[in-house]
């Protein structure tokens, strides 16, 4: 019997029990939908996070005070004041770190900002004029502060869009004065709406010169971070080594195990985040796959019922010349068509749901989300669905093929 006719026969078999076929396939549809949804959202989340990290630039190296925490309770290690002006001076010398294109000290914290009667608590970010290029952002109005303003402890601020809206819902605060920690700052620039970011929400931040931040806002003599940009991506590892050597010299550290600072690169951060999200996605997909298994057992159950119910048909086909293989193929194809169909519906549903969610995220929650259709997962899903049909269909199909024609014809 030709493949085409085998398909036709199997399809006929399914069509005569439409509602049962639909119910049977539901388990597979749900399983594949869940898998596609999880994979698609996982991929989207990963792209979002990686995109944001990448936005900061692969050439960026971050120096944090303290040491790598040894465990979740070791947070004391993270709050130290080991990064000082002397480190900035040492790192700035070309002989120490030849491939450093730029260095920016960073201090941050949270202080209330006041304009007229409105108050809002933004993240105060003290940096240099380089912050805009390092974080790949630009102002929608006004300008970024200058090197001179950093050096002269100027009271100037660049605010995020939400800070502006919270302090003055009527319009732009450009060139107005806002009070931060009792001190008047002139708003010289406003950032466009950026959306949620993983590590720093620019919309809720206020950028001021780090000198002003240290001296007048936080009253600290140290840096919370230092950000170094290497001249090329290839020079990042060399620069990391140079930075470590320079700071160790400056801090008189001979044993690297006693470092009171640690250095992170964006590449490492991306790798870590990438691994975490992939593992998480896979884990969720595995949970979703359990529903596929349940769906497969459902298929087997219904196919067994179908084989019993169609005993006479099997007997007749055998009497008319069908071989065991013909019968096996017919029932196996029915199972595989069912599950493959379920897989296709599941892929469509999963992708649609994922698209809907991405739409909601971008339109209503202003998250910079891109819809990802996981082609690999879809192909895998279809394959797995058909495989489920094959595995769980083989037992009922064998039962069918082994029926003796006379027993089958006598069956009432």
Partner 1 sequence: MALIEVSHLEKTYEDEGTLTPAVRDISFDVEKGEFVAIMGPSGSGKSTLLHILGFLDRQSGGTYRFDGKTMDDYSQTEIAGVRNAKMGFVFQTFNLLSRTSVLENVKLPLLYSGIKESQWDMMAKKAIEAVGLSHRMDHESAKLSGGEKQRVAMARALVLDPQIIFADEPTGNLDSKSGQMVMETIQKLNEEHGHTIILITHETYTAEHAQRIIHILDGRIDKDEKVLRRRRSGEFIK
Residue 79: exposed, middle, or buried by beta-carbon count in 10 A (0-12, 13-18, 19+)? Answer: exposed
Integer Cα distance of 361 and 44 in angstroms: 11
- Beta carbon nearer to partner 1, 161 or 306: 306
Residues 393-412 vs partner 1: string with x where CB under 8 A?
-----------xxx--x---
Least gap, CB of 332 to partner 1 (angstroms): 16
Looking at residues 14 to 73 of the shown chain, list those that interact with partner 1 (rule: CB under 8 A).
Answer: 16
Task: Count the residues of the shown chain that bind partner 1, applying the rule CB under 8 A.
Answer: 25
- Please, what is the angle between helix 375-401 and helix 324-363, to 10°? 150
Q: Kindly report the length of the chain.
A: 412
Least gap, CB of 282 to partner 1 (angstroms): 45
Runs of H (alpha helix) within 170-254: 210-212, 236-251
Q: Do 40 and 377 meet the contact criterion of CB atoms below 8 Å apart?
A: yes
- Beta carbon nearer to partner 1, 90 or 408: 408
**Dihedral, 153, 155, 156, 157 alpha carbons, nearest 10:** 110
Cβ-proximal residues to 26 (8 Å cutoff; 6+ apart), any chain:
295, 298, 342
The count of C-alpha atoms lying within 13 angstroms of the C-alpha of 312, restricted to the half-sphere facing its C-beta, is: 4
5 binds partner 1 (CB under 8 A): yes
Given CA atoms 328, 334, 337, 341 in this order, what sign does their dihedral have? negative
**Start-to-end CA span in the chain (Å):** 28
Region near partner 1 per CB under 8 A, out of 3-11, 93-101, 149-157, 265-273: 3-11
In this structure, what token pair is assigned to residue 36? 């596609």
Region near partner 1 per CB under 8 A, out of 4-12, 23-31, 134-142, 369-377: 4-12
Integer Cα distance of 398 and 394 in angstroms: 6
Least gap, CB of 306 to partner 1 (angstroms): 14
- Beta carbon nearer to partner 1, 59 or 310: 310
87 binds partner 1 (CB under 8 A): no
Region near partner 1 per CB under 8 A, out of 8-16, 125-133, 175-183, 205-213: 8-16
Least gap, CB of 320 to partner 1 (angstroms): 5
Least gap, CB of 371 to partner 1 (angstroms): 43
Least gap, CB of 336 to partner 1 (angstroms): 19
- Beta carbon nearer to partner 1, 72 or 321: 321
Strand-strand pairing, 205-209 and 123-127: parallel
CA 124 vs CA 112, 175, 205, 223, 253: distances in Å: 9, 18, 6, 13, 32
Least gap, CB of 315 to partner 1 (angstroms): 8
- Beta carbon nearer to partner 1, 12 or 245: 12
Looking at residues 305 to 344 of the shown chain, list those that interact with partner 1 (rule: CB under 8 A).
Answer: 312-313, 315-326
Integer Cα distance of 73 and 11 in angstroms: 61
- Beta carbon nearer to partner 1, 1 or 366: 1
353 binds partner 1 (CB under 8 A): no
Looking at residues 145 to 204 of the shown chain, list those that interact with partner 1 (rule: CB under 8 A).
Answer: none
257 binds partner 1 (CB under 8 A): no
- Beta carbon nearer to partner 1, 10 or 91: 10
Given CA atoms 292, 297, 298, 303 in this order, what sign does their dihedral have? positive
- Beta carbon nearer to partner 1, 202 or 331: 331
Given CA atoms 295, 300, 301, 302 in this order, what sign does their dihedral have? positive
Residues that bind partner 1 (CB under 8 A): 1-2, 4-5, 9, 12, 16, 312-313, 315-326, 404-406, 409
């Amino acid at each position: 019997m030709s493949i085409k006719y085998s398909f036709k026969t199997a399809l006929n078999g399914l069509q005569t029990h439409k509602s049962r076929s639909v119910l049977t396939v539901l388990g597979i549809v749900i399983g594949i939908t869940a898998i596609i949804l999880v994979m698609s959202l996982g991929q989207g989340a990963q792209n979002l996070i990686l995109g944001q990290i990448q936005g900061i630039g692969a050439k960026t190296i971050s120096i944090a005070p303290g040491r790598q925490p040894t465990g979740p309770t070791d947070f004391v290690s993270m709050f130290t004041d080991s990064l000082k002006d002397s480190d900035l001076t040492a790192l700035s010398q070309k002989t120490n770190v030849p491939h450093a294109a730029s260095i920016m000290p960073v201090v941050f914290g949270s202080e209330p900002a006041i304009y007229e009667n409105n108050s809002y608590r933004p993240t105060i970010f003290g940096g240099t004029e380089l912050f805009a290029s390092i974080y790949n952002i630009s102002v929608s109005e006004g300008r970024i502060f200058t090197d001179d303003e950093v050096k002269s402890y100027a009271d100037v601020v660049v605010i995020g869009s939400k800070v502006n809206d919270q302090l003055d819902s009527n319009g732009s605060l450009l060139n107005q004065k806002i009070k931060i920690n009792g001190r008047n700052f002139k708003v010289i620039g406003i950032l466009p709406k950026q959306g949620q970011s993983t590590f720093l929400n620019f919309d809720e931040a206020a950028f001021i010169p780090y000198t002003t931040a240290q001296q007048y806002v936080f009253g600290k003599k140290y840096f919370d971070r230092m950000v170094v940009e290497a001249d090329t991506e290839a020079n990042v590892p060399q620069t990391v080594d140079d930075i470590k050597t320079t700071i160790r010299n400056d801090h008189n550290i001979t044993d690297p195990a006693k470092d009171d600072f640690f250095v992170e690169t964006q590449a490492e951060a991306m790798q870590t985040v990438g691994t975490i999200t992939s593992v998480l996605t896979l884990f969720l997909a595995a949970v979703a796959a359990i529903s596929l298994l349940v769906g497969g057992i459902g298929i087997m159950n219904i196919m067994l019922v179908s084989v019993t119910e169609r005993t006479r048909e099997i007997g007749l086909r055998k009497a008319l010349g069908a071989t065991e293989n013909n019968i096996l193929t017919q029932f196996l194809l029915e199972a595989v068509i069912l599950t493959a169909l379920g897989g296709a519906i599941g892929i469509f549903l999963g992708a649609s749901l994922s698209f809907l969610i991405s739409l909601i995220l971008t339109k209503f929650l202003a998250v910079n989300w891109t819809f990802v259709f996981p082609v690999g997962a879809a192909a895998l899903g279809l394959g797995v669905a058909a495989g489920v049909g094959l595995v769980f269909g083989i037992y009922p199909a064998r039962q069918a093929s082994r029926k003796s024609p006379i027993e089958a014809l006598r069956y009432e």
